[in-house]
Amino acid sequence: MATISLPTKDRGFAPYTTGEPIVLPKKGAAPKFNRVAYAAAHVVADPLADNDPWLDAAVDWDKTIAFREYLWDLGLGVAEAMDTAQRGMGLDWNGATELIGRALDAARHRPGVKIACGAGTDHLDANARVTIDDIIHAYEEQIETIEGMGGQLILMASRALARVAQSPEDYARVYGRILRQVKQPVIIHWLGEMFDPALAGYWGAADHYAAMETCLAILQEHAGQIDGIKISLLSKEKEISMRRRLPPGVRMYTGDDFNYAELIAGDEEGHSDALLGIFDAIAPAASAGLARLATGDIQGFHGILEPTVPLSRHIFKSPTRFYKTGVVFLAWLNGLQDHFLMIGGQESARSLLHLAELFRLADKARVLHDPEMAAARMSKLLAVHGLA
Q: Is 377 a domain residue?
A: no
Give the domain range for residue 256: 30-347
Q: How many residues does the chain have?
A: 388
- Residue 353's nearest CA partner among 2, 13, 21, 85 is 13
Contact 191, 158 (CB under 8 A): no
pLDDT number for residue 310 = 98
Domains in the chain, number: 1
Residues 6+ apart with CB under 8 A from 183: 147
> Would you say residue 48 lies in a domain?
yes
- Domain-embedded: residue 357: no
Phi, psi of 270 (to 5 degrees): 145, 180
Domain holding 207: CATH number?
Answer: 3.20.20.70
Report d(CA 193, CA 196) in Å as an integer: 5
pTM of the model: 0.96
**CA count, 13 A, side-chain hemisphere, 20:** 2
The verdict on residue 378 lying in a domain is: no
Q: What is the torsional sign of CA 303, 306, 308, 311?
A: negative
Asked whether residue 358 is domain-assigned, the answer is no
Look at residue 78 and tell me if it is in a domain: yes
- Cα 160 to the center of its chain, rounded Å: 21
pLDDT at 244: 98
In this structure, is residue 232 part of a structural domain? yes
With a CB cutoff of 8 Å and minimum separation 6, the contacts of 279 are: 37, 38, 39, 40, 71, 76, 286
Q: How far apart are CA 114 and CA 26, in angstroms?
A: 20
Contact partners, residue 321, CB within 8 Å, separation at least 6: 83, 89, 194, 195, 196, 197
368 found inside a domain: no
Q: Specify the pLDDT at position 308.
A: 98
Digitized pLDDT (tens) for each residue of the chain, 388 residues in all: 899 999 999 999 999 999 999 887 777 777 899 999 999 999 999 999 998 888 889 999 999 999 999 999 999 999 999 999 999 999 999 999 999 999 999 999 999 999 999 999 999 998 899 999 999 999 999 999 999 999 999 999 999 999 999 999 999 999 999 999 999 999 999 999 999 999 999 999 999 999 999 999 999 999 999 999 999 999 999 999 999 999 999 999 999 999 999 999 999 999 999 999 999 999 999 999 999 999 999 999 999 999 999 999 999 999 999 999 999 999 999 999 999 999 999 999 999 999 999 999 999 999 999 999 999 999 999 999 999 7
Q: Is 191 left (phi over 0), alpha (psi -120 to 50) or beta?
A: beta
* Secondary structure (3-state) at 344: helix
